[in-house]
Chain A
Amino acid sequence: MSRVGWMRLAVIVAAVGLLEVCCRTALINPKVVIPPSDMASALFHLLASGQVNGQIVRTFGIVLLAIVISVVAGFALGVAIHAVPRIRQALDPFFATYYAVPIFIFYPVMIVIFGLSVMPIVLMGVATAIVAMIIATLNGLDRIPRVLTKVARVHRMGTVETALRLKLPAAAPHLFTGVKLVVSYAFIGVIASEFILAPSGLGRVIADAYSDFNNPRMYAMMLLLVIVATAVNMLLHVLDQRWAERRGIGKI
């Protein structure tokens, strides 16, 4: 591991250790926040018992579905919008202000339309994430050097070959930034939707545990989500860094 990696690990260990000490010494009320070791123990026992495995599979399955839909549809919409400058001009202000609107206010409407099923949660995940992918796609396409189009013509490449061999790789760093944002937003959209009204899923498990004052269960689920979300984002970050280094951009 690199020196920076060790420092990162040290920061995490120090923060967790500090929280542990604060909880154990009652600097933080352990009835409000349980020590991290108890959170880990509760998570281990919960996973071993299999009580919430179905909820875990359901939630992460929905997150994955929302990610796939957002990335594919967001990219396709981005390409289509980029191709028609007038539509782009008309939509740009909406994209710029999209995340200023609390999208969750539409969740009750979705339940009215689709019922208490998986669909409203998937749609909330997609609604939260897709615009990030559209914006990233537009940014990526905007930044493709014009000279590449000329190079493609010198090589007598067709539209599809130009898009696949030159434009897509040229726009890839921006598209990957979009994917990273989609992953983060999809987690937020899905878990928050489950938390508000859904009948099941990890968000619901956390909400129920909170209502029942079942702190070990609540913190165990929160820890699981933090671990999974952080691990996925770290993985994407590492891939992004390797890519950047390869292109000579270096570590950011």
Chain B
Amino acid sequence: MAAESPDQQIHASLAGVTRVYPGAAGTRPVHALGPVDLDLKRGEFFAVVGPSGCGKSTLLEVLAGLQQPTAGTVTFEGRPVAGEVPDGIGVVFQEDASFPWLTVWDNAAFGLRRSGVEEGEVRRRVDDALAFMGLKDFARAYPAQLSGGMRQRVCIARTLVLQPRLILLDEPFGALDAQTRLLMGDEVLRLWRRTGATVLLITHALDEAAMLSDRIGAMSARPGRFLDIVVTGWPRERDSKIVSEAAFGEITGRLWDNLRGESMKSLGYAGMAVE
């Protein structure tokens, strides 16, 4: 078999992407992002960290096709992303996006049913996804009867059944406590290994990024640009136990070195000395 060319290895990319939000009446436009260049390799786990308001979520939405970049180009599997979310991209949002009027099972089946997938196949994929996400026993429950973490797993299951090739996670564990986040991180790693999908994770938690990712992009304060790309070097088979490894501390330390000054800027401490 011929080896993949570098172009084939690149799954999605941003080239010179900027996003400027037009100002409301009487206010100045907001330059939220860029210019940003990023190549996501097929099958890698890439995390983006940065201070609050630095344009992380904007970057994700531009990559997903939910927002048009002001300048630059976005491509997914070699085709430009323009106007709508391409087939093959799944997004999990920070907010609870489960449908409270549907059971867990029907939530997970939502995308498949409206795509006209045959009912037997829907049943197979949904049962499989719920079992994988540990929700099998809650298939007939409604989201309001579940914890926040479980509701987020419902949203992940809804994305998973569509078998996306690129999964975009926008701070999906932002509202969860630290222990639950670690466990959810393990589940995301299992999901990533099993699906073979490329994953882009937006997070403000340095430990989460360090534990989950192959590479981590550290972003500056607004307008967000990549200051550093940290390669973690973790093996593909990994879980939350790596938080006790020395390299884990080195990675989070390097990320914090990059982000400390930027975080202070975003909080309005621009005039203070940063040691």
CB distance from A46 to the nearest CB of B (A): 44
- Residue from B84, B87, B101, B142 in contact with A172 in the complex, judged by beta carbons closer than 8 Å: B101
Which residues of chain A are within 8 angstroms of B91 by Cβ–Cβ distance?
A: 150, 154
CA separation between A46 and B161, bound complex, in Å? 63
* B256 close to A (CB within 8 Å): no
User: What residue of chain A has the Cβ atom nearest to residue B84's Cβ?
Assistant: A156
Q: Which of A161, A172, A248 contacts B145 (CB 8 A)?
A: A248
Chain A, Cβ-Cβ closest to B87: A156
Q: Which of A131-172 contact B (CB under 8 A)?
A: 145-148, 150-151, 153-157, 161, 165-166, 169-170, 172
In the assembled complex, the CB of B89 is this many whole angstroms from the nearest CB of chain A, namely 8
Are the CB atoms of B101 and A154 closer together than 8 Å?
Answer: no
Are B97 and A147 touching (Cβ within 8 A)?
Answer: yes
Residues in A neighbouring B101, C-beta threshold 8 A? 169-170, 172, 246-247
Pair A150/B66 contact, Cβ less than 8 Å: yes
- Report how far A154 CA is from B60 CA in the complex, Å: 12
Bound-state Cα–Cα, A153 to B86, Å: 10
Check if A145 sits within 8 Å of B97, measured CB to CB: yes
Q: Cβ of A252 < 8 Å from any Cβ of B? A: no
The answer to whether B142 touches A154, judged by C-beta atoms less than 8 angstroms apart, is: no
Interface size class of B (residues with CB under 8 A): 20 to 34
Residues of chain B in range 240-275 having any CB-CB distance to chain A below 8 Å: none
- Report Cα–Cα, A247/B103, bound state, in Å: 9
Quick check: B95 and A147 within 8 Å, CB to CB? yes
- Contact yes or no, B100 A248, CB < 8 A: yes
Restricting to A31-81, which residues have a CB under 8 Å from any CB of B? none
Residue of B nearest to A149 (CB): B66
Is B144 in contact with A154, judged by CB distance below 8 angstroms?
no
A169 touches B99 (CB 8 A): yes
Query: Is B85 in contact with A154, judged by CB distance below 8 angstroms?
Result: yes
Does the CB pair B145–A147 fall under 8 Å? no
CB distance from B114 to the nearest CB of A (A): 7
Residues of A within 8 A of B61 (CB): 150
Q: How far apart sit A42 and B64, CA to CA, in the bound complex (Å)?
A: 71
The reply to whether B97 and A247 form a contact with Cβ atoms under 8 Å apart is: no
Q: Does A112 contact B (CB under 8 A)?
A: no
Cβ of A90 under 8 Å from chain B: no
Q: With A147-B95, A154-B85 as given contacts, are A248 and B142 in contact (CB-CB < 8 Å)?
A: yes
Q: Is A249 an interface residue (CB 8 A)?
A: yes
CA distance A156 to B86 in the complex (A): 8
Cβ 8 A contact of A248, one of B66, B85, B110, B143: B143
Contacting pair A247 B100 (CB below 8 A): yes
Q: Does B69 contact A (CB under 8 A)?
A: no
Beta-carbon contact of A165 and B114 below 8 Å: yes
> What's the nearest-Cβ distance from chain B to residue A218, in Å?
45
Could you tell me if A153 and B144 are in contact, using CB atoms closer than 8 angstroms?
A: no
Partner of B85, one of A145, A153, A166, A246: A153
A147 CB → nearest B CB, Å: 4
Report which residue of B61, B93, B110, B143 has the largest number of chain A beta carbons within 10 angstroms of its beta carbon.
Answer: B93
Contact indicator B97/A151 (Cβ below 8 Å): yes
- Let me know if B99 and A166 touch, CB within 8 A: yes
Whether, in the assembled complex, B51 has its beta carbon less than 8 Å from a beta carbon of chain A, the answer is: no
Instruction: Establish whether residues B145 and A153, one from each chain, have CB atoms under 8 Å apart when the complex forms.
Output: no
Question: How many Å lie between the Cα of A246 and that of B90 in the bound state?
Answer: 28
In the assembled complex, the Cα of A97 lies from the Cα of B93 at a distance in Å of 39
- Report 27 cross-chain contacts, Cβ distance below 8 Å, ordered by A residue: A145-B95, A145-B97, A147-B97, A148-B97, A150-B61, A150-B66, A150-B93, A151-B93, A153-B84, A153-B85, A154-B64, A154-B66, A154-B85, A154-B90, A155-B110, A155-B114, A156-B84, A157-B114, A165-B114, A170-B101, A246-B101, A247-B100, A247-B101, A247-B142, A247-B144, A248-B100, A249-B144
Q: A147-B93, A154-B66, A154-B85 are in contact. List 4 more A-B contacts (CB 8 A).
A: A150-B91, A150-B97, A151-B93, A247-B101
